[in-house]
Amino acid sequence: MSDWFNYIAALKILAVGLLIGAGLPALFAIGIRLNAAGSGATENAAAQRNPMLVALSWALFAVVVVAVVIGVLFIARDFIGHQTGLYLLGAQPT
């Protein structure tokens, strides 16, 4: 390992970036597709509603929203801790 560049950390950052950068939009797209299929919008004949697919799509939407909220809180954790005294997600008081 080089003192100048940490290859293991760079690979970890790349892997997490790919997972979140491609995974969350993919989950959202799957949720959109499931919602359309569950509401009968993709059928050629009479619309057949499937509440299970709609519920699954909303669960995927909830996962995406929770991931986004946690990401924003993680980025703003020091600011939130400084302003409110509530130290979240590993923020340390200074």
Q: What band does 19 get if pLDDT is binned at 50, 70 and 90?
A: confident
Confidence (pLDDT) at 43: 63
Q: Mean pLDDT over all residues of the chain?
A: 88
Does residue 20 carry a pLDDT above 60?
yes
pLDDT at 26: 94
- Cα separation values, 65 from 57, 79, 82, Å: 12, 21, 25
The stretch 27-31 carries a mean pLDDT of 95
Give Cα separations from 61 to 11, 22, 70, 74, 85 (angstroms): 28, 15, 14, 20, 31
Each residue's pLDDT tens digit, 41-71: 766 656 678 889 999 999 999 999 999 999 9
